[in-house]
Amino acid sequence: MKLVLVNPEIPANTGNIVRLCAVTGVELHVIEPCGFSWDERSLKRAGLDYWSHCRLERHLTFAQLEERWPRANYYFLSAHARRSLFSASIQAGDVLVLGCESAGLSRRFLDKNDRGRHTWTLPMPGRGRSLNLASAAAVALYEALRQIGRLEG
């Protein structure tokens, strides 16, 4: 299982997701550019002392990352998608992809990269446009881990 952030903008969210990936044992991949510097204090503070426990890789493009796992199933998360991630059939080795805080995954990005794959949403029965990026990452990742049986024991 891998988690990908495309152009994250808020350092505290990315730091929080570093911690999430450290405690779940999931690889984190970040597609540049980001809206912050990697030595920003708020980024380090949000990740606390979990940085050394997170397998983090940075990539210049999504295509660069995709070359490493050309046969993986990519689950693109979008507030505008119609299919709930809870009805997906996630498998070990799949990749969850989330966009930036202000715009999510752009239509252009999805048109270029989805190619008939899986664009999914997290249901939001209340009012509001979207979840916080770190919250969405946590919900999606724990659902994926539940489906592949990595939460038992």
Residue ranges of domains in the chain = 2-147
The CATH number of the structural domain formed by 2-147 is 3.40.1280.10
Cα torsion 77, 80, 83, 88 to 10°: value is: 0
| Amino acid 146: pLDDT | 96
Tell me the pTM.
0.94
Check: CB of residue 95 under 8 Å from CB of residue 74.
Answer: yes
pLDDT tens column, 70-129: 889 999 999 888 899 999 999 999 999 999 999 999 888 888 876 656 789 999 988 888
Q: What is the pLDDT of residues 3-29, one digit of tens each?
A: 999 999 999 999 999 999 999 999 999
